[in-house]
Amino acid sequence: MSGAPEVRIAEDAQELGQEAADLFVWLGQQAVAASGRFRVVLSGGTTPKLLYAMLVSPAFSGQLEWPRVEFYFGDERCVPPDHPESNFRMADETLLRPLKIAPERIFRMRGEADDPDEAAREYETVLRTQFGVPAPGWPSFDLILLGLGEDGHTASLFPGTPALEERARLVVASRAPGGVKNRLTLTVPAMNQARVVLFLVSGIIKAAAVHAVIEDRETGRVPAKLIRPVSGRVIWILDRAAASGLTVAKQGVVSHEE
Ligand code: 6PG
């Protein structure tokens, strides 16, 4: 990974969303200028809604050529796309439909498939085809959005699971300890090819996990700690509550320069 993780601290969840939207649009403009497209992996959970609400607002929705953006998913629960627990449904309702993203630029994981392993292999084929990268090559996303669980999980890579140890495949089926147990997830090596990984973390309940991942060298195989892009950047945008477990040194003001 090129350098230490960059930590940006926003006053509150609202400012976290603003900062994340600023960065998303800037990265998107850079990617479109460089390659004509912006390939972004959306995160599950609820925190990304802070970002999505900003991106669909008049302040941001006109700042990016949305027809140049391709939307992928970092993980999915094994439920139908219209299920309340579906990560696709959350993104569709809060981001993709409001921005009128064409279906052909949305690449969702088929959580509804009867066989999660087959769905994982199918998604891997989609990625390899879209990127024109046959095995054993590694596609490189422009941006991967991630959240952080209280146990240090990210995407659907949970502590002590086989999915966390996968080093050959891009996408695997995984198991969650709670909620919808059957999942699909990008693997650690797939994420570590990204140009930028952006963790968005909000709330006091995440403070211990944030400290464990960013500062504590003692904690073992906390999944989010394994996300260290080979040549890309890791950026954390935290609100003050989520950052409250960090040493003072990391408590900085939100930096607007990229
Ligand atoms: C999921 C996400 C998961 C999420 C964290 C944080 O499918 O749930 O991929 O990794 O990012 O659990 O979730 P919140 O943002 O809801 O706190």
218 domain-assigned = no
- The angle formed by the CA atoms of residues 18, 11 and 142, to the nearest 5 degrees, is 40
- Tell me the percentage of the chain whose pLDDT exceeds 70: 94
- Number of structural domains the chain divides into: 1
CA 43 / ligand 1 centre spacing (Å): 7
Quote the ligand 1 centre to 70 CA distance (angstroms).
21
Residue 67 lies in a domain: yes
DSSP structure string for 235-255: EEEEETTTTTTS-GGG--PPP
Range of the domain at 54: 6-181
Cβ(154) to ligand 1 under 6 A?
A: yes
Does the residue 106 lie in any domain? yes
Mean per-residue pLDDT of the chain = 94
Residue 205 lies in a domain: no
For the segment 163-168, the average pLDDT, to the nearest whole number, is 97
pLDDT of residue 258: 44
Mutate to test the pocket of ligand 1, among 153, 183, 226 (most ligand atoms within 8 A of CB): 153
Q: What per-residue confidence (pLDDT) applies to 220?
A: 73
Residue-wise DSSP of 137-202: -----SEEEE---TTS-BTTB-TT-HHHH--S-SEEEEE-SSSS-EEEEE-HHHHTT-SEEEEEE-
Instruction: Flag whether 257 is in a domain.
Output: no
| CATH number of residue 121's parent domain | 3.40.50.1360
Is 124 close to ligand 1, i.e. is its CB under 6 Å away?
A: no
**For residue 242, how far is its CA from the centre of ligand 1 (angstroms)?**
14
